[in-house]
Amino acid sequence: MNTIDAIQSRRAVKQFDVDHRMTAEEVERILSLAILSPTAFNLQNWRFVVVNDPELRKKIRAVSWDQSQVTDTSLFVILCADLKAWDKGPGRYWANAPQEVQDFMLPAIDAYYRDKPQVQRDEAMRSCGIVAQTLMLVARSMGYESCPMDGFDFEKVGELINLPDDHVIAMYVAIGKGTKEPWPRPGQLGLDDVVIKNSFAQ
């Protein structure tokens, strides 16, 4: 499937085949393609909590508006981010770059994020949003359906997965074999509604 077909056929699917099992190779393929997604300063600040334990999935579903995607998908990922990735050995993000690039990047990373909690959080959400779309498009191109989700109690899910203090949860991406066609796209805006030419009207 080419990229345009994957984009056009990706939908937020709600019903999944609970008995379908992905192979370890499929899971590895999806995740290893996802981590080629871009991140600012190459921070790779996403963290993928892959929940396989059925009991834990049930508990998560109970604090996720009882949404069945949580228990019924073959690959259920809680997309988290490390807010302090910029401060945790940032040399490794540029280890293979020429020395002059490393010399520029490391101080620039520090200056961009240090003492700026809002910037750190914004970056986490940007990274997770982009990688979420990659996950969904890879899944689609492998014949799977997916659902991005933020309908859940973030605090309770954080407790269930022992989320570290310096991490945040961005959203879920649930992937599996769809069993029911989604309804037609419910209300797509036109380009005229969303594209602004040069600047917003005064």
Ligand X SMILES: Cc1cc2nc3c(=O)[nH]c(=O)nc-3n(C[C@H](O)[C@H](O)[C@H](O)COP(=O)(O)O)c2cc1C
The residues of the shown chain that bind ligand X, judged by CB under 6 A, are 11-12, 14, 67, 147-151, 171, 182, 185
Q: Which residues pair with 175 in a beta bridge?
A: 75, 146
In whole angstroms, the minimum distance from the beta carbon of 185 to ligand X comes to 6
Query: Which residue has tokens 């379908």?
Result: 20
Largest separation between any pair of C-alpha atoms in the chain:
55
Residue 27's closest CA among 114, 112, 144? 144
CB of 183 to ligand X, least distance (A): 8
Residue 45 or 94 having the CB closest to ligand X: 45
CB nearer to ligand X: give 12 or 101: 12
Which of 11/29 has CB closer to ligand X? 11
Q: CB of 145: closest distance to ligand X in angstroms?
A: 10
Residue nearest to ligand X (CB): 151
Shortest Å distance, C-beta 88 to ligand X: 26
Sheet arrangement for strand 46-50: 46-50, 75-82, 167-176, 145-149
- Which of residues 34 and 109 has its CB atom nearest to ligand X in the complex? 34
Q: d(Cα 139, Cα 145) in Å, to the nearest integer? A: 6
The three-point CA angle 106-132-154 to 5° equals 90
Look at residue 69 and give its three-state secondary structure: helix
